[in-house]
Each structure stands twice: as structure tokens, then as C-alpha cells.
Amino acid sequence: MTALVGNCMTTAMGVMPHTDYEKALDLALTMDIPFWPQLPKVSFYEDMYVQITENFPGITVDMGAQKIFFDLDNFYNGLEEYFENIDNPDYLSITPDYSAVYHGFLKRPSLDKYYAIRGQQIGPISFGMKITDKDKKPIIYNDEVKQFLYDFMARKFNIQFRQLRERNSNAFVWVDEPGLQILFGSFTGYASNVAKKDFHKFLQDLEGPKGVHLCGNPDWSFLLEDLDLDILSVDVFANGPIFTKYTGQLKAFLERGGILSWGIAPTLTEELEAESLDSLQTRLEDMWNYLDTRGIDKRLVLKQAWLAPARCCLVNTDGTGSVEKSFAIVRELSARLKDKYGLD
């Protein structure tokens, strides 16, 4: 377990609604732990599912239709070229064509002055269940493709981590896995015991702190107990009442040094307008007080807490306004709590 510090520092989700990547970067850099944004409204290449496809055999990206296609024959035909280049970091790194934002972030000055910086990457479960073959079958159901997928994504992840670490020694990358919410449903064709084993093995292949971000409501026991995570990012605005019921697992996670990123400020306009800084502070502290009554000391929670907006949002009619307000609320709430509890 890495010795990360919480103390109500701020970070945020990766996907943002901005169409100007310099403004998005400026906003990301207002957080204690800044990150490079994913901006699908700038370009389809900035979509998190598209960014990971670069040099994935058998995959083509149709920019006009804004779709990702996979062909199994082309996958097998492309493996020779892939393995010829597997040891070349440039071959598996994110190029400017697939994220101008990422490279803009790396060029920003003074990234080493922050406590940490963060990257993110779509996870193999979410990607493998979303991308289908010509028969509309998710590629993760093909055992050979699945094995390649997990290895490919681990290699891409590690290269991103190394590039970020060159700019800040406390850099980390977390895995964005919205698919974990539906993974263990009976209607999926990916047996849960196999999926858990595969995902655990994948995380062990990753360099640096091991983190998972998701906005849904998955099997929290699996995430808190079985994966040896360093960081878990949760939408507690929506899922806090359920999440905080896992008191035994939460206590063990925090006591071994795990960081919880509490996604507390909504980004959907209607939800945001119904809240205030005071109401969100009360909502958050009510959860912490509940944990305290269940044997999880509040000082430990604070020590291992980051604060963040609750989730990504691209559908607001006010463009970037609500998301930017959510970022501001998180910063103000962080300042309040640091002052109230004497946090550094």
C-alpha cells in the first residue's frame, strides 16, 4: 500500500464538457491533484473509449459515424505488427492525434509543484463489454481477445504512468470502470468469479498506486476487500447511503492506508441547483459521523479523504457552467473542512 495522504485535498473526474481544451486544463489545474481532462466534445479521439484503441489490432475508428468497430480476422492479422512493436514505448503511448489535451497537460509548467498529478484510462471490463464484433458480441467474451485486451491495457496504462511520473514523482493513474456496476448481473455472459480473478490479475500488472473510479453502485465488498486498491473514487452524492453501510470493509480499507475520493458535488444542473455548500457539507459530514458511530474514527476518514465532483456530465444545457460551479464548490468545501479540522 502506497503512503498517499488525503486531508480533504481536491481532484475530479476525467471527462469534462468543455470545447476549449486550454480552458479545461486551466480548470483541472485548480484542483490540489490536477489531471488531464478527456473532452469528447472537442473530438471523438478525446473520448475515453477511443483513446485506448490506438494500435489495438482489429479495431478501426469511424470518425464520421463516431463508432468503434472490431473485426476478428483483422485482429489476428494485426498481431504480428503489434508484437514487433510491443517494446517500443512510443507505439503504445497516447499520441497527440488521440489526445491533444494529454500532451497539452504534459507541457504545462510547474506540475511538480502539486502534491500529485493524475491520469486516467478506461478499464478492460468496461471497454471489453462495450466494443463488439460484427455479430454484436462483446469482445471480452472471446477468451483470446480478452487475454490480449487485459495485457494491452496494462501496457498502455504503465506507459502513461511513467510519462506522468516524469513530471511529478507522486503521479498516478486510475482505472475508469463504469462497467463494474453491471458486471455481476445475471444477464452478462462474463462469469463473476472469472471476471473478479481477471480484474485482480490486471491490477497486479499495473505500476504505481492502484486506483479505480466509477460513478455507479457495484459490489463494494469486491472493490474494498478483494483488490488491494490504494484509491477508490466513488459518487457518494448518489450512492453514499449504500456505500457507507459497508463499515467493516471500509474500516479495513482505511486502516491499511486506502484513499477514498468522495464525489460529493453534483454536476447535473437540476441536482446542483437543489443543493448549497452548506447542504453538501452536512450531507458529507453526516456520512462521516455515521461511520464514526460504527467504529471508524472520523480523524482516520479525514486523513484518507479526497473530495471531488460526483460524476462526469456532458448533457447540461448550460455548457460548462454547472461543471465549473461543481468544481468551485468542491474547492470551497475542501477549504472549509481543512480549516474546521486543522488539516494541512
Going by the DSSP 8-state scheme, the letter that residue 94 receives in this structure is P
The 10s digit of each residue's pLDDT in 16-36 is 999 999 999 999 999 999 999
Q: Which residues contact 99 (CB under 8 A, 6 or more apart)?
A: 36, 38, 45, 46, 51
C-beta of residue 157 within 8 angstroms of C-beta of residue 119:
no
With respect to residue 1, please indicate whether it lies within any of the assigned structural domains: no
Q: Write out the DSSP string of 123-159.
A: -HHHHHHH-B-TTS-BGGGSHHHHHHHHHHHHHHHHH
Q: Is there a domain that residue 32 lies in?
A: yes
- Cell numbers placing 167: 513530471
The segments of the chain whose pLDDT lies below 50 read 1
Question: Who's near 137: CB < 8 A, 6+ residues apart?
Answer: none
Q: How many domains does the chain have?
A: 1
Domain, as residue range, for 210: 9-341
Whole-model pTM?
0.95
Q: Is residue 325 part of a domain?
A: yes
Q: Is residue 2 part of a domain?
A: no
β-pairing verdict for 305-309 and 172-176: unpaired
d(CA 170, CA 156): 19
> What whole-number distance in Å separates Cα of residue 277 and Cα of residue 333?
7
Within a domain: 128: yes
* DSSP H or E stretch at residue 235: strand 231-235
Residue type, 70: F
User: Which pLDDT belongs to residue 171?
Assistant: 97
Residue 263 placed within a domain: yes
CATH for 92: 3.20.20
The pLDDT score that the predictor gives to residue 1 is: 39
In a domain, 264, yes or no: yes
In a domain, 160, yes or no: yes
